[in-house]
Amino acid sequence: MKKVHNFSAGPCILAPTVFEKSAKAILNYNDTGLSLIEMSHRSPEFVAIMEEARSLVKEVLDVPAGYTVLFLQGGASLGFLMTAYNMMGDHKKAGYITTGAWAKKASKEANFVGEAVIVASSEDKNNSYIPKGYNIPSDIDYLHYTSNNTIFGTQFKSIPETSVPLVCDMSSDIFSKKIDISKFDLVYAGAQKNLGPAGATLYIIKDSILGKSSVAIPTMLDFKTHADKDSMFNTPPVFSIYASMLTLQWIKEIGGLEEIEKRNNAKAELLYNEIDRNPLFEGTAAKEDRSYMNVTFVLKDDSKKEKFDELWNKANISGIKGHRSVGGYRASIYNAMPIESVQVLVDVMKAI
């Protein structure tokens, strides 16, 4: 089988050991004679998987005491609305930093529960930078931002300083580097960028916010509902949680987030150095705000496009077509992407 270098923005590339163990579990989980996906989610086998997955999240991210970890469904898109329902307080206002399509969608959902106040935005330059020097109102119930922008290739390099509760959608860069969870009241992330297959959404929730919303919450959208049942209020996305557990095991085995961050930095620097060196290419994001997960760039000479596309196709490179909002190319270099694959892309860029 030919080696394909998968730079797709999502679903994500996963470590080979995760694929291998997942495939075996689909046929026969731990010699039980049952497939993982046909076992009861109440069985001792799956309860153990759920407990280990949640425990590994706390261990790998160094989550402090006083936080609950949940694996739920609905993706980050449902998280947009769950955030507003569970975090909206007496002010009935929430602050949003909109730096891309997903951050803007998150702010839109908040308007179903209260008022979304746009604290800062980068729309004026097609979301090619991270806003700085903005003022955060004191009369908002929480501040929400999206840490990494898969479409536009920008990434927050520091956590916003604020006196109000802080919420972050970390769907596309969670587990890619060390973060200080204690600065957040809520972190959520769809699994399909850096953690596992689509289907599960990770929530890390400060216990003090559970059951404290000032609005009536539908049962399924209430974090407390799921916290009280250890993520088992309804049937969980079994396979996605299992693969996420395997990914967390892999991260731990190779040296944790310190090693992951080192690898991710090396991959990003290799690719960005070629973009900056090669007169045929240009990055689309402000240099100080460049994402180390999603590298966006354009070919400056359109006459070279046919040749470049031919070369990367011949090199078995997949998934680098840019999003229509930006154009050009996008190379997503998530945790499991080996630096050897990035080198293949760089070699193609040099050969054009």
Question: Is the fold of 16-253 the same as that of 256-351?
Answer: no
Of 102, 141, 250, 289, the active-site residue reads 102
Q: What's the predicted TM-score (pTM) here?
A: 0.96
Dist. CA 336–CA 314, nearest whole Å: 22
* SS3 per residue for the chain: CCCCEECCCCCCCCCHHHHHHHHHHHHCHHHCCCCHHHCCCCCHHHHHHHHHHHHHHHHHHCCCCCEEEEEECCHHHHHHHHHHHHHCCCCCEEEEEECCHHHHHHHHHHCCCCEEEEEEECHHHCCCCCCCCCCCCCCCCCEEEECEECCCCEECCCCCCCCCCEEEECCCCCCCCCCCHHHCCEEEEEHHHCCCCCCCEEEEEEHHHCCCCCCCCCHHHCHHHHHHCCCCCCCCCHHHHHHHHHHHHHHHHCCHHHHHHHHHHHHHHHHHHHHHHCCCEEECCCHHHECCCEEEEEECCHHHHHHHHHHHHHCCEECCECCCCCCCEEEECCCCCCHHHHHHHHHHHHHC
Per-residue pLDDT, 148? 98
Right CATH number for 256-351 from 3.90.1150.10, 3.40.605.10, 3.30.300.30, 3.30.300.130?
Answer: 3.90.1150.10
Per-residue pLDDT, 228? 96
Dist. CA 122–CA 132, nearest whole Å: 10
304 is catalytic: no
Query: Digits of tens for pLDDT over the chain (352 positions)?
Result: 678 999 999 888 999 999 999 999 999 999 999 999 999 999 999 999 999 999 999 999 999 999 999 999 999 999 999 999 999 999 999 999 999 999 999 999 999 999 999 999 999 999 999 999 999 999 999 999 999 999 999 999 999 999 999 999 999 999 999 999 999 999 999 999 999 999 999 999 999 999 888 889 999 999 999 999 999 999 999 999 999 999 999 999 999 999 999 999 999 999 999 999 999 999 999 999 999 999 999 999 999 999 999 999 999 999 999 999 999 999 999 999 999 999 999 999 999 8
Per-residue pLDDT, 25? 97
302 is catalytic: no
Residues in the chain: 352
Of 193, 206, 224, 267, the active-site residue reads 193
Per-residue pLDDT, 1? 64
> Do 331 and 349 meet the contact criterion of CB atoms below 8 Å apart?
no
Tokens coding 115? 């008022």
Per-residue pLDDT, 27? 96
Of 169, 185, 222, 289, the active-site residue reads 169
Per-residue pLDDT, 318? 96
**Where do the domains of the chain lie?**
16-253, 256-351
193 is catalytic: yes
Right CATH number for 16-253 from 3.40.640.10, 3.40.50.300, 3.90.79.10, 3.20.20.70?
Answer: 3.40.640.10
